[in-house]
Structure 1
Amino acid sequence: MSTHYRVLSGLFLPLALGASSFVWSAGAEVPVIAISSQGTSNANSAEANDASVLFYNPAGMARLRGTNVSQPFALIAASTKVENKGTTRAQDMGQAPDTGPTADCSKYDCMSAANPKPAMPAVGPQPGGIFPAVLPVGALFATTPYNDSISLGIGVFSPGGGNLNYKSDWFGRYFIDSVAIETININPSMSIRFDDKHSIGFGVSAILGHAKFKKPIDVNKIAPYLFKSIINNNKGLIEKLNGDLGSPLPVDELAPLLEGIAQFVPAGVKDLLIPLFAGGGVPTLGQFNDVLIPALNNVSLTDPTSTSSATVEVYGLGYGWNLGYMYQMSDKSRLSVSYRSASDVRMNGELDWDFSDLRASELGNVVTGDLPAFLSEYYRPDVDARLVFTIPSKLNIGFFTELNDRLDMMMSYTFNKSSVVESLSVELINQTTDTKQGPVVLAQNWRDSFTAAVGFNYHWNDKLTLRTGLQFDQTPISGPTGRHPGLADNDRWMTSVGLGYEVDKNTSIDFAYSYMYIMPGISNYHERCTGTYYEGSAAQGASECTADGGTFRGRFYDSHAHILGLQFNKKL
């Protein structure tokens, strides 16, 4: 078996691990790629010591001799706490939406209110662990010389994503229940060495993506929009009227229905309805819309203490590229410049509604017969979904120098063009019902950000190298109004210690431990979409949307992560 075949045959082993990712780092970037880099808090982009340099700067492959394989593996244990600061739901039943900057529980329904009106499912205690207890992260890198000037390599790693899982009864449930975004980058690369000082490198990327979101639905948001759908689809109420809108409808046939409705609606509604059909007249669709819908919009068709939910799951593919330049300034110092392009991972799948736990009110049973079935068929059917997940571009500048025979110093600065991320929008496509479902939009409006790190190697002896480093990540989130609970990021500090040990001339291992501290963050995220339309918009078309509305007000604190990493390096 050739050396090249042995290298390539093991590439797909880490795919399952490479798909795992961690939500808090540069927005949605994984904090650990290689363990040899983790030991210096990712300051060593210009070191070029093993095959993982392919990720940081492919030009560094030219410094490696022979065929090199590196397989990093890390475990991330993260935790945070979240405190309710007056999260409110958007109002129904004729009340104004919550648009104020602060919560007013006397006017708006706070999620923590003891007796909210209208009623809703009980709010449980604030969530504790919203991250997986332990999250694995893995990758694989391999490089080999093609000739004296050209080296080839391939990397498999996760460039970004996230994994959060709140409790289904937490106070922010109408904003998010759980979210998982996973990506795998397959990155073949090439480097060209011109002389002892200059080398360049470039690569292309195929990025596999998977995303899954789940959120409960505020069932009070369903009521105001149903009657028009019932009438237009000639179902529910019209079937119970035992006729159609173009035929005379005898009052005696309407009486049982009107009497049933009158049990649940204000007394004045019956007086509005009976004249509509009095004398066997011919009611028009406009009369239904003008009289019936406004009369019943303020009456719940649902049991407001019941629940329903929506889940979006999509899969897809994206592409990108990267390039780099490395300059050997002297025998002891070198400079690294690299760029990785932005990538749009285009994913397709489905939005699935779950009405299995939804209960209709008595009136809802009268006018729809089977409310969950009606919703599934005419108002909220499962539909195809499309999501574009953008991974921002980044420019890195790194410096490495040997201060003396034992001590190395390195520095790294990365500029993240994260302002390209304006929103995370799930488009709902291929719809066939009269009532259209608008996109589900998570507004982000990120700003550009940066990462800076400094690190040191201390060569204890010919076999053992000790490492340490400090890193600062600026969050791309611009402020409290952009801090959605699905991505509760903030500025981060990471300090690391590590070591590298040469087992023999062809085998070495790296070990690292990092502690990441995330600064406390305040959220005041307002959802403008209130059921079907954006606030202040009554027009069809572009104004359509799908969400619950309301304002998430919370404080994230005591947020940190412990990261343990191990890497095996082999020269073949």
Structure 2
Amino acid sequence: MRRLHFPAGAAVCMVTAGLLPCGAAYPAGFALNEMSAAAIGNAFAGVGATADNASTIYYNPAGLSRMSGQQFTVGGAAIRPSIDFRNGGSVTATGARLSGGNGGDAGSWSAVPALYYATDVMPALRFGIGLQSAFGLKTEYDNGWVGRYQALKSELQTVNLNPTLAYAVNERLSVGAGISAQYAKVSLSRAIDFGTICAGALGVARCAPAGLLPQSRDGKVKLDGDDWAFGFNLGMLYMPTPTTRFGLAYRSSIHHTLSGGEARYEKPAGLPALLASNPAFANNGVTAALDLPETLNFSAYMELDPKWALLGDINWTRWSRFDELRVKFANGSPDSVVREAWRNTTRIGAGLNYRYNDAWTLRTGLSYERSPVKDAFRTPSIPDAGRTILAFGLQYKPTPQSAWDLGFAHVFIKDASINRADLPLNGRLIGTYSNDVNILGLQYSHAF
């Protein structure tokens, strides 16, 4: 019965291989950057130097020094990815054709809310606090799709509470720092080919009478887990002139240990007792590490004249932290390990603002970022590829103390091939992904 041992690790591991996908994540990888509708309108260019509302708490806390009194900003982004797979000859471990369709559109609408408040502590010192979601995903394929043995549904949600302080060293230089208390929750699932498992373990003659033939009697495994973890962010803002600003901001990595979770198995009716009672398919506690990467951002903002302003930035993310996905089991089974081998990425962006009058400002921006996912390691839960972001936005100020911002961005994602065989049981998924994303952000800011 030695052949029955591998599904225990395999089933859980291949579900957790979707732990870090891009379903609702639109900077490269599985990060979210939609913390401000104004930033969306500039394709996130210059986010660490703009500092014109309280969302700077997230992008660069030193930017709070440009304000006084109390500020309140509330907003959100509606994000709609389109994730379309085209099968290119996917096969089982024996070389037979994998049955099933292309999975439908694996993307769906997601909401990313954000909330900020800032106030004076003393003339040179300001306090701010923000609530946002810095990482997230939501992908869901049709149950009978060709890649069901690698991924069905993958969902990651995070909530980040970020209190900060900003200090004005002098009229030109400010610094800021904050703490991030972050909650992460994961829910994942994939199908299990019990027909192939039965035929391989007990033989076709014993399994065929119960209809347990390859790809004919699927089960399912679902996994969930959550965790609280902590990090920090630092920022600096330098203003050589009243119309020019340079920002440098750093956000630390955050290490989550998704504990207290469980792998839950759904087994088809009529499964032989030897398989139905096997510990490999018993509900089991699991623990998985999730390392969220650090980022470093350099931004610039320059007013060319009273009407026009130019923005730009370079953003570096240390995605190489995601080198492998290791799952530990409460029952003492050996760790299950999947190699990911992600690479670090750099986003480059430029934006332009036009101030029509005191009430109306128009925005646009263009950004590009290479994917951290190498072609050889692409998965159906993370069908990521390089992307270009084209954005437009506007701001309306009905009073000097209040402002509405609207931003829209379209993310052009390169077509990406996949040729993935995580474990022999899951077969080899071969095909091409065609993805894109639409993002719509709205926010309101008020100064007291």
TM-score normalised to the size of structure 2? 0.90
Q: 2:333 matched to 1:456?
A: no
Aligned partner of residue 35 in structure 2, secondary structure: coil
Q: CA offsets per residue over residues 232-267 of structure 1, 9 Å max, x none?
A: xxxxxxxxxxxxxxxxxxxxxxxxxxxxx9x947xx
Who is 1:39 aligned against?
41
Q: 2:81 matched to 1:170?
A: no
Aligned-partner Cα distance in 1 for 2:196–2:23: 34
User: Residue 207 of structure 1: CA displacement?
Assistant: 0.7
The number of aligned residues is 424
Q: Which amino acid aligns with 1:54?
A: I
Matches within 5 A, 1:286-325: 302-304=212-214, 305-325=216-236
Aligned-partner Cα distance in 2 for 1:182–1:36: 23
Who is 2:413 aligned against?
518
Who is 1:131 aligned against?
107
Aligned-partner Cα distance in 2 for 1:452–1:199: 24
Matches within 5 A, 1:320-339: 320-339=231-250
Aligned-partner Cα distance in 1 for 2:205–2:304: 83
Aligned partner of residue 122 in structure 2, secondary structure: coil
1:352 pairs, out of 264, 268, 287, with: 264
Aligned-partner Cα distance in 2 for 1:76–1:301: 42
Aligned-partner Cα distance in 2 for 1:445–1:551: 19
Aligned partner of residue 50 in structure 2, secondary structure: coil
Aligned-partner Cα distance in 2 for 1:520–1:451: 19
Q: Which amino acid aligns with 1:352?
A: R
Conserved? CA contact 1:223–1:300, under 8 Å: no
Q: Which amino acid aligns with 2:106?
A: I
Q: 2:36 matched to 1:63?
A: no
User: Residue 84 of structure 1: CA displacement?
Assistant: 0.8
Q: 2:371 matched to 1:495?
A: no
Conserved? CA contact 1:395–1:414, under 8 Å: yes
Cα 1:176–1:440 change in 2 (3 A) is farther
Who is 1:428 aligned against?
329
Conserved? CA contact 2:253–2:293, under 8 Å: yes
Conserved? CA contact 1:58–1:200, under 8 Å: yes
User: Residue 61 of structure 1: CA displacement?
Assistant: 0.7
Q: Which amino acid aligns with 1:564?
A: L
Aligned partner of residue 486 in structure 1, secondary structure: coil
Who is 1:28 aligned against?
30
Who is 1:78 aligned against?
81
Q: CA offsets per residue over residues 63-96 of structure 1, 9 Å max, x none?
A: 11111111111111221321111222224xxxxx
1:412 pairs, out of 271, 290, 313, with: 313
Aligned-partner Cα distance in 2 for 1:454–1:24: 17
Q: 2:365 matched to 1:485?
A: no
Aligned partner of residue 447 in structure 1, secondary structure: coil
Q: Which amino acid aligns with 1:138?
A: P
Aligned partner of residue 485 in structure 1, secondary structure: coil
User: Residue 526 of structure 1: CA displacement?
Assistant: 2.2
User: Residue 220 of structure 1: CA displacement?
Assistant: 4.0
Who is 1:341 aligned against?
252
User: Residue 300 of structure 1: CA displacement?
Assistant: 9.9
Who is 2:7 aligned against?
none
Matches within 5 A, 1:212-291: 212-223=187-198, 264=205
User: Residue 350 of structure 1: CA displacement?
Assistant: 0.6
Q: CA offsets per residue over residues 414-449 of structure 1, 9 Å max, x none?
A: 011111111233322244xxxx3x445443210010
Q: CA offsets per residue over residues 339-373 of structure 1, 9 Å max, x none?
A: 10111122121111111x2433xxx46xx4xx53x
Q: Which amino acid aligns with 1:72?
A: G
CA radius of gyration, larger in: 1
Please, which runs of 5 or more residues in structure 1 have no aligned partner?
Answer: 1-19, 92-107, 113-122, 228-260, 266-295, 531-547
Q: Which has the higher strand share?
A: 2
Cα 1:311–1:407 change in 2 (3 A) is same
Q: CA offsets per residue over residues 432-468 of structure 1, 9 Å max, x none?
A: xxxx3x4454432100101111001111001111111
